[in-house]
Amino acid sequence: MHSCLAVDPDFGQPLGLLWEKLWHRDKKISLPDGETPAKKKKRLKKERDAKKKQAFESKESY
C-alpha cells in the first residue's frame, strides 16, 4: 500500500491521510517441468531482453 500523509507545514503536525493506493504485481506463469539449467538460463535471458526493449511508459517503475 502506498499512502500520502498530510502534514501542517508550520508545526509538523499530521493532519491525516490524503490518498492511498493498493498495488500488487501480477502472478508469474508457472515454470516448465523438467527444465534444465541451460534452458532456464536461455529463458531468463529472453525475458530480460524483452523487458529492456519495453517502452518506459509500460514498465512497472513508471
Delimit the domains of the chain by residue range: 1-25
pTM: 0.45
pLDDT at 60: 76
Residues of the chain with pLDDT under 70: none
DSSP for residue 9: T
